[in-house]
Amino acid sequence: MNRKVLKLYLVTNRYQDSLESFLEKVETACRSGVTIIQLREKISPPINTINWQNKSRKLQMPIRSP
């Protein structure tokens, strides 16, 4: 993987935020220089992760899924 992509790495979970609030925080992080985001959701149903990915793509946030 290109080292420039790994310049600033954010590991996060949604915790108790609404999806919209969470996406605002992620968008702010991206504008502040975050180049890769790892979403850690241990107890979230897969559909929630899919919804997050779809909304993130609409906002043109860089997403990479396993």
* CA 44, chain centre distance (Å): 14
Q: Check: CB of residue 36 under 8 Å from CB of residue 10.
A: yes
Q: Which residue has the tokens 């979970």?
A: 13
Q: Check: CB of residue 35 under 8 Å from CB of residue 6.
A: yes
Which pLDDT belongs to residue 5? 65
Spans of all domains in the chain: 9-58
> Quick check: 13 pLDDT over 60?
yes
Provide the pLDDT confidence category of residue 8 given band limits of 50, 70 and 90: confident
What's the pTM value of the predicted model, to 2 decimals? 0.64
Which pLDDT belongs to residue 45? 81
